[in-house]
Chain A
Amino acid sequence: MEKLNVTVNGQLMSVDVNPAIRLVDFLRGQLLLTGTKTGCGKGECGACTVIMNGKSVTSCLIPVMRAEGAVIETIEGLAKGETLHPLQEEFIDKGAIQCGFCTPGMIMSAKALLDKDDNPSSEAVREALSGNICRCTGYVKIEEAVMAAAAKMRKGG
């Protein structure tokens, strides 16, 4: 066991972790933040995407100790109280969710983009989502939702 200092969804914590596990195991297994999914465990599907120090990462590829001192955002940290993030609202509203297994990772990849650029081109959106596989939707409504969320964020929503 080693001591890990990390901020998860705004909460600074100092916890004992097994240094052999991956960040996704820490989030899902230790913090019970099971919104982050695993579809492959090998960096190939994007279901485990979280934001680490402002960048989207596949948490199944990150040894947990690499998170020392890091700021991590997971899907559970997006809503402010009862108010959903514009991405969450638009994913629901535009029909961008089917089985929902890719959704948390997809939303986190999109958030990493929109946090930097709230007026992205559709190419930039596609590029930002290209590491996230969705087998259900054909990506059409996911892209629509991200564009709509960007518009909402520009209006300050």
Chain B
Amino acid sequence: MANYVGKNIPRNDGFDKATGLGVFTHDVTMPHMLFAKVLRSPHAHARVISIDTSAAEALPGVKAVCTYQNTTKKRFNASTAAMITIPCDEPVRDQLVFTDRPLYIGDEIAAVAAETGEIAAKAVKLIKVEYEILPAVYDPLEALKLDAPKVQPEFQSEMFGAPICMDDDPTQLIHPKYNNICGKVIEFGIGDIAQGFKEAEVIVEVDLQLPRVKQCQMETHAAIASYKANGILEVISTTQTPHPTKMILAYALDLPESKVRVSNPPYVGGGFGVRIGMSGKAEVIAAVLSMKALRPVKLVYTREEDFTASDTRHGGYLLCKLGAKYDGTFVAIDTTAWLNTGAYATFGVELPGVLGACGTAGAYRIPNLHYKGFPVYTNQQTAGAFRGFGTPQGTAIVEAAVDKMACALQMDPLELRKKNTSKPEDRGFFPFPIGSVGVNECIDKAAAAIGWNEKRGRNQSGHIRRGVGLAIATHVSNAAPFCVDYDSIVLWIEQDGSLHISSGIPEIGPGSTTGVIQVACDLVGVPFATTVMQFGDTASSPFDIGSHASRTIYTVSQVLAEVAPKLRQSIFEYAAAHLEVSAEQLDMVDGIISGGGKEITLKELAYQAHLNGKQFLVSGNKVPPNSLPWCAQAAEVEVDMELGLIKVLKIVAAHDVGKAVNPRLCEGQIEGAALMGVGYALKEEMVYEVGTGFYNNGLHRYMLATANDRPEIVPILVESNDPAGVFGMKGLGEVGLNAILPAIFSAVEDAVGVRFNVAPITPSRFLAGMKPFA
């Protein structure tokens, strides 16, 4: 019986966070602790000819100086790409702790640990480095050319084979062989793409250029590493994947995993994908310094380092061709993405796959599909995971194509969408049943709430114009079966009947631990108030892959659904003997066991059991099933034709969440993601300047929305009750960002008659884009 699932239970960590008593990595100090500072490359591509650390070492208070010369040369991948690819693709392990061939402005050359942060900063400045500057390349289309500088000659693959199957490829990339491919070109399809386009009666093509954008989680990357001469390494950090980060550290530093502990302290100031794996490289840098100094070392990234030396979202270029019948039935879609992977792989190979799978092959039933994604090394900082993991990029181009098709067919864009959305029986590209599909209900609800019928197509003139747009998206509820995804948990009953849950998931903000406790209490039959969850620590829990892929509550609930009945069974068996009834007669709700006319509290029973040397304890692990979450997101914009200013007045985000475990937490995910999406469409952009690197080295140079300039945001929850999800739930954390950009682009098109194909639509881009139509 559901007592807690579906209710707005306040977060279990609310007290800690509202009082300032909750501890984050930034807040941690340890006895005898040193402070670290990193020396970063000022060049986009160079070779270190000489490095002299003697002056730094001689500075009083300096306890360790590490460079590529005195640190392991074992290469690793700082993201969980190292762990998650199925079938067992080897991750691209192309990163070093410190390098003598920096590949981007910000690459790590050396680091110092000293008694104070000031001494460490001073010492870093005393390190003398002589560089030979090498030619660099910054744009993925340039980097693909055969005469481009090679960023990672040891790791790039050369793709031989057929040209891209675009008919009139405007970028002229039809080479049999490319340069700077990271890992491999991702290519897949279903049906027969050539045949599909032959059958098509209308064909449209669109292209799109998307920027790099930054996660901007409010707590910058940080780690405190403590290595002792007995061979034990303990790391407290901002990672959103404690267990995989433990594995990466053990691998990179040649330590047994049993001797490495990674934990959150326990709170993490956001993530949004940026620390799936290491937090930048904070953990491994602090660790090597600690191994040298044999003292705890704390490294906190400055906001500038966080901006310019940790993963961004992938920017790049996309092309999409969509074919349909005159009646609007989609028959073929072919998409190509050229992505700026940056200097190192991290998720460079996985992400183009998700872009294709969830971004281009997810939302619609299209029998003939082809996708090709190019991960391209460049001499810029690395791109990696960011909320949506490729799906926002894929959704942006596909939704642009769908709008163009609606225009070509003179159909209402919403009718065209509803006609073609996936149905529960469809598999499309996915190797699992896609689950319940509430997307058409989302479209109807979002359209009604934005006022689609009254507002779309107002054909205005004058200098202030308004428009509405809508787009749809999907994503996943976890990473299986594409990647390793499982969770292991241990449940036990304390001696007073309280439930204890031990799981390795972290709490990076969404309220995962609150939601998990709600589910556990209902499945076991115990009160929320006395249940506790241990999380975010590899020493106190068995394996979990971490907070990513919208998976935490979904996946942990799957394991709970397996082990909770076992826990109940063991309780009932014990209670049966105690109460002299049969175990089958018993039930337990909110900690009260009853049946056969008898009743006992779990509190009393657990204590009786304790006196007899018995504890109720179960464990289990499971690979979760998967299903697609859905949303329809609508935007209303107001455009100032003279100033080029686009103001979003309202966002309506209707989401099929399967079942809302905690509606208020669901709304929080949707609202936060929506505002991020607004920034992606109109404001946020990492701008590269050759010679100096990214302009955006601080928050004042990166336009995040404040409370003052947010639109009205209306979240709508649709519950389609997914057959595979526990209580019918699906994942939610990421999908809320996926359709905002195309919804806004469509709204701008509705207002001014022009579909922009470069994001973000800044005032200068808007005015330049409107010139030809003036």
Contacts and interface: CB of A to CB of B under 8 A. Distances in A.
Interface string B497-531: 00000000000111100000000000000000000
Contact of B668 (A88, A125, A130, A136): A136
Contacts of A133: 216, 218, 699, 704, 706
A45 interface: yes
Interface in B1-30: 8, 10-11, 13-24, 26-27
Contact of A39 (B13, B22, B303): B303
A118 B377 CA distance: 55
Contact of B707 (A36, A44, A129, A136): A129
Contacts of B671: 137-138, 140-141
Contacts of A98: 270, 509-511, 668, 672
Contact of A95 (B219, B667, B705, B710): B667
B698 interface: yes
B675 interface: yes
A35 B24 CA distance: 9
Contact of A35 (B21, B272, B675, B700): B21
B664 interface: yes
B22 A100 contact: yes
B665 interface: yes
A145 to B, nearest CB: 10
Interface in B705-738: 705-708, 710, 713
Interface string B190-210: 000000000000000000000
B664 A130 contact: no
B698 A140 contact: no
A88 B676 CA distance: 25
A35 B20 CA distance: 4
A123 to B, nearest CB: 9
B371 interface: no
Interface string A81-99: 0001000110111110111
A135 B218 CA distance: 7
A99 B219 contact: yes
B218 A130 contact: no
A103 B668 CA distance: 14
A104 B269 CA distance: 12
B24 A37 contact: yes
B18 A99 contact: no
Residue from the set A75, A104, A136 with the largest chain B CB neighbour count within 10 Å: A136
Contacts of B13: 97, 100
A37 B219 contact: yes
Contact of B713 (A37, A45, A75, A138): A138
A89 B8 CA distance: 15
A44 B143 CA distance: 36
A84 B15 CA distance: 9
A152 interface: no
B220 interface: yes
Contacts of B23: 34
A135 B676 contact: yes
A75 B220 CA distance: 20
Contacts of A125: 707
B739 interface: no
Interface bin, chain B = 35 or more
A64 to B, nearest CB: 15
A135 B672 contact: yes
Nearest to B665: A95
B701 to A, nearest CB: 9
B268 A44 contact: no
Interface string B257-278: 0000000000111111000000
B513 to A, nearest CB: 12
A89 B19 CA distance: 10
Contacts of B270: 98-99, 101, 135-136
Interface string A114-157: 00000000000111011111111111111100000000000000
B10 A143 contact: no
Contact of A74 (B20, B24, B218, B664): B20
Nearest to B677: A138
B95 interface: no
Contacts of B664: 94-95, 141
A88 B629 CA distance: 33
A47 B674 CA distance: 22
Contacts of A99: 217-219, 267-271, 508-509
Contact of A88 (B18, B219, B706): B18
A130 B671 CA distance: 17
A43 B17 CA distance: 22
Given A95-B665, A103-B18, A137 B672 contact: yes
Contacts of B11: 92, 95, 97
B615 interface: no
Given A40-B303, A88-B19, A92-B11, A138 B218 contact: no
Contacts of B705: 139
A42 B14 CA distance: 27
B541 interface: no
Contacts of A68: none
Q: Name the residue among B23, B218, B699 with the largest chain A CB count within 10 angstroms.
A: B218
B740 to A, nearest CB: 11
B302 interface: yes
A129 to B, nearest CB: 4
Given A39-B220, A129-B706, A138-B713, A92 B20 contact: no
B18 A136 contact: no
Contacts of A59: none
A69 B21 CA distance: 26
B19 A35 contact: yes
Contacts of A84: 15, 18-19
A84 B511 CA distance: 21
A20 to B, nearest CB: 9
A66 B362 CA distance: 58
A25 to B, nearest CB: 10
Interface in A1-57: 28, 33-42, 44-45, 47
Nearest to A139: B707
Contacts of A34: 20, 23-24, 26-27
A71 B706 CA distance: 28
Contacts of B704: 133, 135
A102 B705 CA distance: 14
A93 B20 contact: no
A103 B22 CA distance: 11
Q: Tell which of A33, A125, A131, A133 has the most Cβ of chain B within 10 Å.
A: A133
Nearest to A87: B18
B18 A139 contact: no
A95 B668 contact: yes
Contacts of B24: 34, 37, 101
A125 to B, nearest CB: 8
A92 B15 contact: yes
A130 B706 contact: yes
A79 interface: yes
A72 B699 CA distance: 26
A70 interface: no
3 closest Cβ pairs, A-B complex: A35-B20, A100-B17, A101-B269
20 contacts: A33-B20, A34-B27, A35-B19, A39-B220, A39-B303, A42-B700, A92-B15, A92-B18, A98-B511, A99-B218, A100-B17, A100-B267, A129-B706, A129-B708, A133-B706, A135-B216, A138-B675, A138-B676, A138-B713, A141-B664
Given A130-B708, A136-B668, 15 more contacts: A39-B220, A42-B303, A45-B218, A75-B19, A76-B21, A79-B19, A84-B15, A95-B667, A99-B267, A129-B708, A132-B706, A135-B215, A139-B675, A140-B713, A143-B707
